[in-house]
Structure 1
């Protein structure tokens, strides 16, 4: 990824308030964000824009034919370069729920928690500038 390219993240969340907050947190981290309200919509978007997307940030429970765990497995299989963060306040992943490369964050989360998590999991060449240059 070129240094001047702003990476994209896709947020998959059915709660509009949490969607708004998550989008703000990721935009503040330096991402351009696409919002999807279910996994089916996210897959359609990724099929068209996977080359520009570096991060999937998804809820577990949502409407549609797949939940966040199934979406994470689908993304890991079809677009292995996309990093995956799954979030929930109700469900904790059991063994085998998520692909090996996916990470989990508990809700409620805040900006600092998400930014610290992304600094830890994203390779430097896939981090937006604000995550690289932030004082921790």
Structure 2
């Protein structure tokens, strides 16, 4: 009998402190975390381990040419059942993919933990 794979979350955030905080919270929820600062790097992760991801947590503003909303659309196309959370300090002006959760900054850690628990249940 093989050991169950640890659920993995992908955190895409260009701010190091925010990325570290979200990663710590998700690790507290017994998730393995992969961190990226750009959507381009996150797409490479999707190509490698997308089918093993439990959730994606992405900011709208990212390093690189692609923003978090475009990344969320591409992730949703590839993995329709994946839990995706998009966060931003600015008001949301563009449509998110169906089923994507928007979390306004500043969010509270409990909200991130709730999203992790939701992802782990599904």
Please report the TM-score for the alignment, with normalisation by the length of structure 2.
Answer: 0.89
User: Distance between the aligned counterparts of 2:108 and 2:20, measured in 1?
Assistant: 12
Q: Secondary structure at the match of 1:76?
A: helix
Q: Which residue of 1 aligns with 2:119?
A: 122
User: Distance between the aligned counterparts of 2:41 and 2:78, measured in 1?
Assistant: 15
Q: Which residue of 1 aligns with 2:78?
A: 78
Q: CA deviation at 1:3?
A: 8.9
Deviations 1:53-73 (A, max 9, x none): 111100001121210100000
Q: CA deviation at 1:109?
A: 1.8
Q: Which residue of 2 aligns with 1:68?
A: 68
- For structure 1, the 5+ residue unaligned runs are 127-136
Q: How does 1:21-100 map to 2 (within 5 A)?
A: 21-90=21-90, 92-94=91-93, 97-100=95-98
- For structure 2, the 5+ residue unaligned runs are none
Deviations 1:46-90 (A, max 9, x none): 101112111110000112121010000000001213210001112
